[in-house]
Chains A and B, each alone.
Chain A
């Protein structure tokens, strides 16, 4: 089989990080080649180099056997390389057609809308997609946006296709359709690089797999000749246990009761549309669903950051509807916000300031006027020890911490009960997103510990594996509603995916 891409000895340094360390990689015609690795392993960096977005510090790139210099995406595109980025790169307010023809090089200045429309529709049909070229991007589902991204590169006749974690926003069913299309593209003689950190997907769709860890390529193997367990060991660098954690405690009294809650989203329409839920103490309620279906708005309403339009929120039987965040904290609600590095800390503040963002107001850390710095510093040192925040000192700025350490800092602040003991209700929105395995395990352990201490926990995640691992019950959310609640014994990926997409069918 012809070699489409060969990367030799690629090195890329970022300030303080060796993102790619002498990486070799090969893509052949007609294969789906999985690039497997944990968050931060350097997969995206490597592919950005192949797409001309980043310049490598060292190394050589060969396309169809010829040495090339890639100065910008334009060079890559003209060599037949196309990339679907981890975060969609689409102009939301433009039409599908405008997005697809953007930057296209052909004769004439004027856009021939009619002929493009016809050709786009034809191309989409070849892969079994039905998409309206005149629809605006913001009107599309995540799966359709993905199809537009693929159409963008196929329309340019690309035959080296890079997909960066394409399934992270898709439901199980959408993922399956994507895989069918990818197999089809490989069969047409294209080469597909498929980036993922999910082992199941590697086994399902790829011909070969290359594993990266900490910037290095560990191994490349035929998928048929390996197993999930083996790949996991390469990926993480040690034995991993795929096992469910059992807790000894039993759920107790109802901590949180939500009745027919409706919450307005940022765009001005209801993001949460009639949700009723119950969480008991000593219980983890998982909330599954593709992100952007009202989970964050629900969490923010419970945390008092967003006023509900309708419905009721009862905390330990007390009506807390519409109370602000300060009141909610006093009632024992802890909130771990999504994208902790943006929403959870004040980056320019020092670590100790960030730890006491809430608690500085209460004794013994302050009297009516003055802050008690000695006590705060002592407690801060205790907390970074207990929560394993790696930092030179409590006086370092929070923005200097890595993602995992930022999350530990937030957890320390929210869960340590600096004020008023352990939280009675913990709302954790995507607490492990973007973390490495060590930090993820730490978060999981912590949630289990608080569960055993009797906190009620709402655990919002997109990752079905971790949901199934931790949750006592799983609520499936989509389109601002709860589509079903499954007990842990009856829940599996298939059923959850089905609940998500049934809702989509009803809605569409």
Chain B
């Protein structure tokens, strides 16, 4: 369970780490995730799991492109544009997945769909694939009885760490987020690189949404992300923009949520589950306050140009 919940956070924050390392704050994460979930819902019914996953990634990338154009090329305020994108995603996903509209889309995508599938509120869950041998080990065996997206997240985190810290594109990306003028002077295309990083964050957020729906709770509900995108944003801070540390943080948040589900299940106390449910949000708020304090910023290594648009002739 801990791993299953944590994977939502891990996938979303991995992409966001790239965007923020390049200097772009993608506050649209929540909206892209919920769109990813809605798209994966519709596409699973129409074409199956693989198509659903790919479609939600593509939609995530397209949505982040809106942010990229506004924040990078038009140099608009990233907080405002990001939040607008979140609103947009929440609204649009609810609209697309509402029964009447969904029915029309599904019929357009696949006219031969049986009536039963046109109306249901749920979709088949992604199957769990136990890894032979590893999944039988006590305690850690649970890490290896998961669906394919979880395995992808296991591989993505170290790979993304390696690219970021050990390769030239990674160095360029980090430099662009720290001091774009320095990178520009060394012949790096700041705009393209920031655009690429933003698209990566969009793709991962779309994937995180698809995973949330298909791999974890395959019942459609409007706004089913319930702030998970914002928790992922604070996780990026807690991980100090490091993909490996993001793994730990993601499972920590995942664990807290699981405990809270359990308490609800056993009906322990009326108050405590709510308090516990607040915990990830409290941590998120604390992390966001912390980065707004100048001295803390320096210590934890916020990308120095995070949120600041770049232009050459200024």
Q: For residues 110 through 156 of chain A, which have their beta carbon under 8 Å from a beta carbon of chain B?
A: 110-111, 152
Smallest distance from the beta carbon of B242 to chain A beta carbons, Å?
14
Indicate if A177 sits at the interface (CB-CB under 8 A). no
On whether A267 and B175 interact (CB within 8 A), knowing A73-B184, A77-B186, A152-B186, the answer reads no
Name B163's closest neighbour in chain A (CB-CB): A109
Q: For residues 129 through 185 of chain B, which have their beta carbon under 8 Å from a beta carbon of chain A?
A: 166-169, 171-172, 174-175, 178-179, 181-185
How far, in angstroms, from A273 to B186 measured CA to CA in the complex?
A: 38
Q: Across the interface, which residues of A come within 8 angstroms of B172, CB to CB?
A: 102-103
Q: Across the interface, which residues of A come within 8 angstroms of B269, CB to CB?
A: none
The one of B178, B187, B304, B313 in contact with A77, judged by C-beta atoms closer than 8 angstroms, is: B187
How far, in angstroms, from A92 to B175 measured CA to CA in the complex?
A: 10
Name A83's closest neighbour in chain B (CB-CB): B185
The one of A72, A94, A109 in contact with B175, judged by C-beta atoms closer than 8 angstroms, is: A94
Name A108's closest neighbour in chain B (CB-CB): B168
On whether A101 and B171 interact (CB within 8 A), knowing A89-B179, A92-B304, A94-B178, the answer reads yes
How far, in angstroms, from A148 to B182 measured CA to CA in the complex?
A: 13
Smallest distance from the beta carbon of B140 to chain A beta carbons, Å?
31
Smallest distance from the beta carbon of A113 to chain B beta carbons, Å?
9
Q: How many residues of B contact A (CB 8 A)?
A: 26
Indicate if B83 sits at the interface (CB-CB under 8 A). no
Smallest distance from the beta carbon of B291 to chain A beta carbons, Å?
15
In the complex, are the beta carbons of B304 and A102 less than 8 A apart?
A: no
- Count chain A CB atoms within 10 A of each CB in B171, B172, B181, B313 and give the residue with the most: B171
In the complex, are the beta carbons of A111 and B168 less than 8 A apart?
A: yes
On whether A53 and B312 interact (CB within 8 A), knowing A73-B185, A91-B178, the answer reads yes
Indicate if A249 sits at the interface (CB-CB under 8 A). no
How far, in angstroms, from A103 to B168 measured CA to CA in the complex?
A: 7
Smallest distance from the beta carbon of A140 to chain B beta carbons, Å?
15
Indicate if B294 sits at the interface (CB-CB under 8 A). yes
Name B301's closest neighbour in chain A (CB-CB): A93
In the complex, are the beta carbons of A73 and B187 less than 8 A apart?
A: yes
In the complex, are the beta carbons of A93 and B184 less than 8 A apart?
A: no
Name B305's closest neighbour in chain A (CB-CB): A91
How far, in angstroms, from A99 to B186 measured CA to CA in the complex?
A: 9
Indicate if B263 sits at the interface (CB-CB under 8 A). no
Indicate if B298 sits at the interface (CB-CB under 8 A). yes
Q: Across the interface, which residues of B come within 8 angstroms of A85, CB to CB?
A: 185
In the complex, are the beta carbons of B313 and A91 less than 8 A apart?
A: no
In the complex, are the beta carbons of A73 and B186 less than 8 A apart?
A: yes
How far, in angstroms, from A72 to B166 measured CA to CA in the complex?
A: 26
Smallest distance from the beta carbon of A421 to chain B beta carbons, Å?
37
In the complex, are the beta carbons of A74 and B178 less than 8 A apart?
A: no
The one of B168, B178, B182, B294 in contact with A109, judged by C-beta atoms closer than 8 angstroms, is: B168
Q: Across the interface, which residues of A come within 8 angstroms of B248, CB to CB?
A: none
The one of B166, B179, B184, B301 in contact with A111, judged by C-beta atoms closer than 8 angstroms, is: B166
Q: For residues 173 through 214 of chain B, which have their beta carbon under 8 Å from a beta carbon of chain A?
A: 174-175, 178-179, 181-189
How far, in angstroms, from A91 to B304 measured CA to CA in the complex?
A: 9
Indicate if B295 sits at the interface (CB-CB under 8 A). yes
Smallest distance from the beta carbon of B163 to chain A beta carbons, Å?
8
Q: Across the interface, which residues of A come within 8 angstroms of B179, CB to CB?
A: 89-92
In the complex, are the beta carbons of B294 and A98 less than 8 A apart?
A: no
Smallest distance from the beta carbon of A298 to chain B beta carbons, Å?
20
Q: Across the interface, which residues of B come within 8 angstroms of A110, CB to CB?
A: 166-168
On whether A72 and B187 interact (CB within 8 A), knowing A89-B182, A91-B182, A92-B179, the answer reads yes
Residues of A within 8 A of B (CB): 14, 51, 53-54, 72-74, 77, 83, 85, 89-94, 98-99, 101-105, 109-111, 152, 266-268
Q: List 16 A-B contacts (CB under 8 A).
A: A53-B185, A54-B312, A73-B187, A85-B185, A89-B182, A89-B185, A91-B174, A93-B178, A93-B301, A98-B171, A99-B182, A102-B172, A102-B183, A110-B166, A111-B171, A268-B298
Given contacts A72-B187, A98-B175, A102-B183, could you give 11 more A-B pairs where the C-beta distance is less than 8 Å?
Answer: A89-B182, A89-B186, A92-B178, A92-B179, A94-B174, A103-B172, A103-B175, A103-B188, A111-B166, A267-B295, A267-B298
The 4 closest A-B pairs by CB, nearest first: A74-B187, A103-B186, A89-B182, A91-B178
